[in-house]
Amino acid sequence: MTLARRNGIELPVRSVEEIREWFTFRDFDHFIEIYGVISKCLKTQDDFELIAYEFGAEMARQNTRYAEVTFSPAFHHHHGIADAAYLDGLSQGRKRALADFGVEIAWVFDIIRSVPDPEKNRLYSDYTTSVAIENMANGVVALGLGGGEVGYPPEMFEPYFTRARAEGLHSDPHAGEVAGPESVWAAIRLLGAERIGHGVRSIEDPLLVRYLAEERIPLEVNPTSNICLGVYPSMEQHPLRLLHEQGVIVTVNSDDPPLFNTTLNDEVALLDGVFNLDMETIDDILLNAVRHSFLPAERKAALEAEFLQQMDSLKETHLDNACNW
């Protein structure tokens, strides 16, 4: 709401309570519609710097050290925002977040797949790929693919992922959220997916589940988002636990936290809550985020060792407190 007031954007809500009611989504398309309205509140370099910096502050409050964050350049380009405004703003906010909070942010620049006009779809996809490649030195680590899956299969975007991967970017498309297992198969075979955003509908294809497990291709699972968007009717019917039990590597993520009234900590708490996983399993799932990040191997090893040490320390403190009780 601060950015809306700053930039003269009229929102249909006036309070936090009204925002939460507004963020009750009928379906995925309704989510995209509201996401678009919110994104239009970003106009200037200062706006983009603010959201990157505030994101770093929120990650620090949730004990997060490193985050790979999805951003859609073509949306802002389409609405007339100069490249320098968002690129310089994100870069400055990222630097300040690291300096002030010790939180490192990397970017996954994603193609908005659901652009109905074929020529605009091609132009925006090419634009996003070019900007991602050009900003690898400014924290862009992967090319992503977001937006509505239905009618926009992965094969439409194969040339862009081929180009990005040739330049050294990782491949991190969304698939298997609204569309079924065939979307995941295509993302792997045609886009060279190293991780799959969402991917939960892979559970519908036993062969795909086995392939994901054997090839160690992680799924970035967002439980609350999946419920809010109607992918599953309830958390009890969500397949996170079943995917893990069948050997698929899963990580826990928050998708768009404000839009789904959640936090990363809330999503992690579900592992001990509705999914009823033991502490060893929870620790393993949390470490998956480190092991399958796009950090260099030596950084991943060092970060995992540090996290293991902290986990052991927390367990010892818990045991001591239990004994004292």
Residue with tokens 């970060």: 303
**Residues listed for the chain:** 325
Catalytic residue among 49, 149, 177, 267: 177
Burial class (CB in 10 A: 0-12, 13-18, 19+), 161: buried
Helix (H) or strand (E) holding 249: none
Going by C-alpha positions, the residue among 29, 38, 30, 40 that lies closest to residue 78 is 40
Do residues 226 and 198 make contact, with C-beta atoms less than 8 angstroms apart? yes
Q: How far is CA 323 from CA 50, 307, 313, 315, in A?
A: 45, 24, 15, 12
Tokens at 297, concatenated: 């191997």
Contact 235, 223 (CB under 8 A): yes
The C-alpha atoms of residue 183 and residue 225 are separated, in whole angstroms, by 19
**Cα–Cα–Cα angle for 48, 49, 55, nearest 5°?**
90
R_g over Cα of the chain: 20
End-to-end Cα spacing for the chain: 46
Q: Is 177 known to be catalytic?
A: yes
CA torsion sign, 178 to 179 to 185 to 186? negative
Q: Counting Cβ atoms within 10 Å, is residue 273 exposed (0-12), middle (13-18) or buried (19+)? A: exposed
Spell out the residues 6+ positions from residue 140 whose beta carbon is closer than 8 angstroms to its own: 106, 107, 108, 109, 132, 133, 169
Amino acid found at 85: A
Structure tokens at 253: 């993520």
Distance between CA atoms of residues 164 and 134, nearest Å? 10
Catalytic residues: 177
